Amino acid sequence: MISTNTVAQANALAKALDDMGFEAKCVHPGLELTVRKRLEERSEKSNSMVLIITNDYDVSSDKDNVRSIIHFDIPRDVSEYESSLEVIRMNGAPADCFYLTSHADIASRERLARASVPSKESLEKLLLAIFNAKTAELTSIPMNEPGISGKFDISVS
């Protein structure tokens, strides 16, 4: 089983593996339920079929024939990695779970993680707006004001 972050990656990888002579099928939440179930049943009966899933695909834990899970990308969090471990250790047989990565993948994850962190300039601007420098009094700023996240480079959820 190979896990990817996106449906596009899963489809591209399935096609590439098919082109190399492997039986590879892509399964993701966007497929019709009957198609997903049929592919899962086929993969459970096969010892050679490569099932390619997206990280958000809920894999049932009764996959006795899955002996390896390869994360084609760095998992978004530890729980994604742990859930794949659960799948392959259910029957107690030896199994492997690992991920393929590159410096570009790590840089991309770091960039995404830092994207929600406001810049130093934004924080200074926000603090100056909150605290009146002349009187050192706290001023109220409605965080649900339209455009506030753009004004201060801060996400408001």
The CATH number covering residue 93 comes to 3.40.50.300
Number of domains in the chain: 2
Residue 148 and residue 71 share a domain:
no
3-state secondary structure 2-67: EEECCHHHHHHHHHHHHHCCCCEEEECCCCCHHHHHHHHHHHHHCCCCEEEEECCCCCCCCCCCCC
Beta bridge partners of 2: 52, 70
CA pair distance 45, 8, nearest whole angstrom = 26
Containing structural domain, residue 26? 2-111
C-beta of residue 110 within 8 angstroms of C-beta of residue 76: no
The model's pTM: 0.61
Does 157 map to a domain? no
The model's pLDDT over 83-130, given as tens digits with 9 standing for 90+, comes to: 777 766 676 777 777 777 778 877 877 777 777 677 778 777 777 777
